[in-house]
Amino acid sequence: MSHLLHLDASARNISVSRDLSRAFAEVWRAAHPEGRYTYRDLAADPVPHIGQPWTELCDYVLAHGITDIARYREAVRTPAQQEAWATLAPLLGELTAADVVLIGTPMYNFSIPSALKAWLDQVTFPKMSLAGRRFVVTGARGGAYGPGTPREPFDHQERYLRDFFAGHFGVEDVTFVHAELTNARVDPGLAHLRERQAASLAAARSRVLAEAER
């Protein structure tokens, strides 16, 4: 049975990245009526940052050569570690249960929101593998960061996530769909770019719907 894990990370309640991820989820769920669906709002319900007890769990897993995610629980030996495990276990369970992971995220300051980074830190352990899963990222950027644009070198949103999914999770099936120039909707100085912004959003919506039917 297919299982979609849907994450949103935008600090805005109403946002482009949320709209795009919602569109994907709706089409995916219609195409998989028997599938499971799990939703987590990382901005409304923030994941705690990792602390010392989490690092102890990580060190134990690494020192004992544990690569089976189902065995991570063996690292828990103290009350503080138990508390850390109580936080991360549900997150890890949701991730490993899913075969499709959908992440709606804006670009903040050339990178990703801290809420998403906190989730990634919690669920990532040395030498773990999520190979075989599919990741889809619906992104929004205030400016233009696509290939050939002056700001392309400053894109640490897609580049970071793509490297992370491949380098830490061993995931090869990763799709990014971005709507760009979203600041043109509110910044008078970018008013001349509003048609381009609308076209970028329309193209992103079209692609999201197509990807959701895969």
Q: Where are the alpha helices (DSSP H) in 98-193?
A: 114-123, 158-167
> Is 92 exposed, middle or buried, given 0-12, 13-18 or 19+ CB atoms closer than 10 A?
buried
Q: Is 0.85 topped by the overall pTM?
A: yes
Longest Cα separation, the chain: 60
Tell me if 114 is assigned to a ligand binding site.
no
Sequence letter at residue 203 = A
Pick the CATH number of 3-47+97-212 from 3.40.50.360, 3.30.420.40, 3.30.750.210, 1.10.1740.10: 3.40.50.360
Taking only the tens place, the pLDDT of each residue in 112-149 is 999 999 999 999 999 999 999 999 999 999 999 989 99
Dihedral pair phi/psi, residue 166, rounded to 5°: -80, -45
Dihedral pair phi/psi, residue 15, rounded to 5°: -150, 165
Measured CA distances, 213 to 112, 117, 176 (Å): 26, 28, 15
Tell me if 200 is assigned to a ligand binding site.
no
Tell me if 10 is assigned to a ligand binding site.
yes
Taking only the tens place, the pLDDT of each residue in 5-48 is 999 999 999 999 999 999 999 999 999 999 999 999 999 999 99
Tell me if 110 is assigned to a ligand binding site.
yes
Tell me if 107 is assigned to a ligand binding site.
yes
Q: Where are the domains of the chain?
A: 3-47+97-212
